[in-house]
Amino acid sequence: MTTFALVPGAGADSWYWGPLAWELTGRGHRAVPVDLPCTDDDARLEDYADAVVAAVTRDGHEPDDLVVVAHSFGGFTAPLVCDRLPVRELVLVSAMVPAPGESGADWWEATGHPQALAAQDAKDGRDPDDIVALFYHDVPEQTANEALRHELDQSGTAFEQPWPRESWPEVRTRYLLCREDKLFPKAFVRTMLARRLRGTVPEAITGSHHPMLSHPARLAGTILSG
């Protein structure tokens, strides 16, 4: 049985992993949606990684087959878990890939994201203030509304902290690129990966920035097919 640690992005709690967790457990695996201390101004990225460890080892569990699935800003946390527990695989779902010493706040300009997002917005005709169109355009309305209620105030502490690893861990890494993602457009992701995770070819999947809400069964199937 594989343990899947499900690491959320910025300002998010474990709720939005629920549909994917249900799919994974229904197929005989252990899924652990993680709550990070993202509202705590004293918490650093190391504390985020410790929260993942605490979640997967709770009640005496010692996973002997651990896969860490990270979404969005969770890409800054997931590699740090590899320094704390044996991790078989990292699965990045529309995730940010940090460079050594780079903060989450610096990542946007460093990767050319503002230009990519502006081009995508112009193509779609999206109002920059329309968050639903950016994040949840393929998510059922009721679920999207619930997701908005689960948004948390992300502390700037971890977001402004330089990423503390000197390199990406030597752990098998998969990147799941969401074809309909408006926040991280396809061409932008491919360029970022080519520069930061050479040799990692993204796997294109159906969905926007939150495929765990729009297509959880397909996402589970893709994760398990690796």
Nearest to 102 by CA among 60, 147, 164: 164
Residue 146 CB neighbours (<10 A): 14
Q: Residues 38, 154: contact at Cβ < 8 Å?
A: yes
* pLDDT digit string, tens, across residues 65-94: 999 999 999 999 999 999 999 999 999 999
Tokens found for residue 137: 């355009």
Q: Is a pLDDT exceeding 90 seen at residue 226?
A: no
**pLDDT for 116-170, tens place per residue?**
999 999 999 999 899 999 999 999 999 999 999 999 999 999 999 999 999 999 9
User: What is Dmax (Cα atoms) for the chain?
Assistant: 51
* 3-225 belongs to CATH 3.40.50.1820: yes
* pLDDT value for 59: 84
Kindly report the number of other CB atoms within 10 A of residue 57's CB atom. 16
Average pLDDT, whole number, for the chain? Answer: 96
- Bridge partners of 68, per DSSP, are 5, 90
**Would you list the domain boundaries of the chain?**
3-225
d(C-alpha 168, C-alpha 166), whole Å: 7
Kindly give the pairing relationship between strand 3-7 and strand 66-71: parallel
Q: Determine how many CB atoms are found less than 10 A away from the CB of residue 13.
A: 16
- pLDDT value of residue 114: 97
- pTM of the entire structure? 0.96
Check residue 120 and give its pLDDT.
95
Spacing of C-alpha 92 from chain mean position: 6
pLDDT in tens, 26-67: 999 999 999 999 999 999 999 999 999 999 999 888 898 999
